[in-house]
Structure 1
Amino acid sequence: MGSPWQTVIRVHDEVRHKAALDLRSRTGGADATARARTIWGAPGPRWFTPDDPIWQVHANASMFLGGLRALLLQALHPVAMAGVAQNSTYREDPWGRLQQISTFISMTTYGPVPDAERLMARVTKVHSMITGVAPNGRHYTASDPDLLLWVHCAEIDSFLDAYRRFGHAGPLDADRYVAQTARAAEGIGVPAAPRSEAELTDVLASYRPLLEAGPDALDVLTYLRRPAGLDRTGLLGYTALFNGALASLPPYARALFGIDWGSARSATALRVGDAGVSAVRWMLNDPLVADDRLTHEQLSPAGTAR
C-alpha cells in the first residue's frame, strides 16, 4: 500500500499531470504532442539556443500572463482592434486562436529554420488577405506596416515585463532579447522592428496619441475576464493571471480602460498574478509534459543558424 507520504506524492503527481495535460491541450490543441515534436524534434539548424535571451523568455511560465497583457495592450489601438473584432475567431474559438499564436512563437523561437520560414510566409499571405474598415473610417489590411509594428511591440514589451515581474529567473540581456525577436517580426512584414529596449520604448510612446479604449477594446476586456470553456478550477487559475496582467499594464493603459485600483489593490493583484504564474510553472514541470522538449545538449550552439 505504501506510506502516507508516498500516497501524497502519488496524488500530487496525478493532479499535476492532469492539469498539465489540460493546459497543453488548450495551448497546443488535441495534437499538442505531435505538434511539439515537429518543433522540438525535427532535425535542422535553429536560429537560437538555450543560452539566448529569446529562449529564456519564451520558455518561461510568465509567458502565459504576458500573453494576456499583450492582448489587452494591443486592443487599445482602434484600427488594429477593428481588424481583430472583424476578422478574428477569438470569441467563437479562443483556444484555437491561442494555439495559432503559440505555434508561431514556438516555431520561430525553437523550430528548424526552414519550417519557421515556411510558417512566416503563410502568416504573411494570410495577413495580405485580411481587409476591412475601422470605425474611424480608415481602410486597413492586416499587413499594414504600422499595425504590424504596434502589435509586435506591444507583444514584446508584455513578454519582457512579465518575465521581469513574474519569471523568477536570472538576469536578462533585454536589448539582445528585443533584437532577437526582430527576426520573426520582420519575416512577417514588421518594418524596422526595434533592436533595443530603448527603441522599443520609443516606438510604443509614438503610438500613445492614437490609443483609446473604444467599444471593441472594452469588449475584449470583458471577454478576457471570463473566457469560455474553463471549469471552476481552471477559471480560478486563469483569473489570477488575468488580474496580474491588468495590474502590470502601463499606467496610461489602465487609465484608458478606466481601471483605478489604487496602489494597494494593484500590489495585491500583482501578487495574485505571481501565484498564477507559479501554478503554471508547477504544471509545466510535470515530467511527462516536459519530455516533449529537447534538451540543452540536443539543441547545442553547433546546431544553430546565425
Structure 2
Amino acid sequence: MAPPVVRGTAAWRYFGDFRDVLLAGQVLVLQVAHPVVAAGVRDHSNYTEDPWARLMRTGASLSIYVYGGAAGARFEASRLRELHRTFTGVADGRRYSGLDPGAYAWVHATLVKVPVDVQRFFGRPLMAGELAEYYAQMCDIGRVLGVRERDLPPDWAAFERYYDEMVASFRPNETMTTLFETIHTVPKPVRWLPDRWWPRLRNAQAAGQLFLIRATLPPALRKQLGLQWTYADELRFRRFCRVVRMVGSLVPAPLRTAHMRWIGKLNVWLRAHPWAYRLIP
C-alpha cells in the first residue's frame, strides 16, 4: 500500500511540476494513438473547436486526483466515469465504450509517465526509491479512477514493458491527423488578443509544440507517424533541455507544483459549491 499523497511524497513533488506542460502535446498524441480513445475523441470531444477550454478542464480534473484530497479524488473519479459512460459509438465496424478497460488503463498510464519523462528531460531523473513510491501512489489513484487491478502492472519495470508494448502496437489514425491539423489552426485563447497578432503567435506555438512532440514521443511511434528527427534536432533539443533545467533549478521545489495544488483545492471547493460557477466569466 502506498503512502497517501501528502506534502513531501513523490507524487506530491512531481505530478504537478510546471514543466509538465511541455509534454501536453506528446501525451495527447499518445492517448489518441489508442484506437478506442481515438474514436471517443473523434465522436465526443470538442477539442478542435475549443482546445483551450478542453486543456483547462483536463488540467483542473488532473489536479484533483493528486492535490484535492481523497474525498475530492473519489468525487471526480465518479463524475468522470459517469461522463464516459455516455461515450459510445462505432469504430471500424465495432462498437466501443468510453469505459473500455484497456483504453481507460492506457489514458491513466500516459498520465503516470509524463512526470517521470519531464524529470528525465528537464529536471533530475527520479531515484529508485522515489520512482517506486511515485508509481505506487499513482496505482492507488488508478484504483480510485476505476482502472482494473489486472491493468496496473505491479512495479515500474513491468509498467515500462507494458507501456513499450502498447506503443509498439499503435498505428497512425484519423484522430491523430486531426490533432496535428488543430495545432496549426487553433483559435486564439482569449478574445482580447488582437486578431493581427494571433497568426504569428499561432505559428510560433505550432512550431514549438510540434518540435516538442517530435522530440519526446517514443522513437518507435515517431517513426510510425513519419515524423523526421535529425541529429541537428537532437542537439537543439538538448540545448533546450539544459535551459529549462537551469530555469527549473531556480524555482524552489515546493513552488514548482504550487499552481496545481491551488487549482486542485479550488476545484474541490467549486464542485462542492456549484453555484459559484456562475461567477466565473
Taking structure 2 as the reference length, what is the TM-score of the superposition?
0.75
The reply on whether 1:222 has 2:181 as its aligned counterpart is yes
- Matches of 2:179 and 2:248 in 1, distance apart? 23
- Matches of 1:269 and 1:252 in 2, distance apart? 18
Q: Which residue, out of 19, 27, 38, partners 1:70? A: 27
The 1:103–1:274 alpha-carbon spacing in structure 2 relative to 1, beyond 3 Å, is farther
1:103 — aligned with what? 60
The 1:242–1:284 alpha-carbon spacing in structure 2 relative to 1, beyond 3 Å, is farther
- Matches of 1:227 and 1:282 in 2, distance apart? 32
1:257 — aligned with what? 225
CA deviation profile, 1:221-247 (whole Å, cap 9, x unmatched):
232355322544576467435422321
1:82 — aligned with what? 39
- Matches of 1:77 and 1:283 in 2, distance apart? 36
More divergent stretch after superposition (79-88 vs 189-198): 189-198
The 1:195–1:188 alpha-carbon spacing in structure 2 relative to 1, beyond 3 Å, is same
CA deviation profile, 1:139-193 (whole Å, cap 9, x unmatched):
1111010111111112322331122111357747222212211222222221222
The reply on whether 1:143 has 2:95 as its aligned counterpart is no
| 2:29 alignment partner AA | L
1:126 — aligned with what? 83
Q: Which residue, out of 107, 112, 125, partners 1:156? A: 112
Three-state SS of the structure 1 residue aligned to 2:58 is helix
- Matches of 2:86 and 2:76 in 1, distance apart? 16
Residue 205 of structure 1 deviates from its aligned partner by: 3.0
- Matches of 2:126 and 2:110 in 1, distance apart? 23
Contact 1:244/1:274, CA 8 A, preserved across alignment: no
2:274 — aligned with what? none
| 2:105 alignment partner AA | L
Unaligned runs of 5+ in 2: 190-197, 263-281
- Matches of 1:90 and 1:196 in 2, distance apart? 34
Unaligned runs of 5+ in 1: 1-45, 295-306
The reply on whether 1:54 has 2:11 as its aligned counterpart is yes
2:142 — aligned with what? 185
Contact 2:215/2:234, CA 8 A, preserved across alignment: yes
The 1:174–1:156 alpha-carbon spacing in structure 2 relative to 1, beyond 3 Å, is same
1:260-275 to structure 2, matched below 5 A, reads 260-272=228-240, 275=243
| 2:188 alignment partner AA | G
1:18-29 to structure 2, matched below 5 A, reads none
CA deviation profile, 1:78-109 (whole Å, cap 9, x unmatched):
22111111111111121221122111221111
Residue 266 of structure 1 deviates from its aligned partner by: 2.9
Identity of aligned residues (%): 24
Question: How many residues are matched?
Answer: 246
Contact 1:70/1:155, CA 8 A, preserved across alignment: yes
2:213 — aligned with what? 245
More divergent stretch after superposition (66-75 vs 186-195): 186-195
The root-mean-square deviation of aligned C-alpha atoms, in Å, is: 3.2
1:201 — aligned with what? 160
Three-state SS of the structure 1 residue aligned to 2:96 is strand
Three-state SS of the structure 2 residue aligned to 1:207 is helix
- Matches of 1:54 and 1:112 in 2, distance apart? 13
Residue 212 of structure 1 deviates from its aligned partner by: 0.7
- Matches of 1:282 and 1:224 in 2, distance apart? 31
The 1:291–1:130 alpha-carbon spacing in structure 2 relative to 1, beyond 3 Å, is closer
- Matches of 1:281 and 1:240 in 2, distance apart? 22
Residue 292 of structure 1 deviates from its aligned partner by: 8.9
Contact 1:76/1:213, CA 8 A, preserved across alignment: yes
Taking structure 1 as the reference length, what is the TM-score of the superposition?
0.69
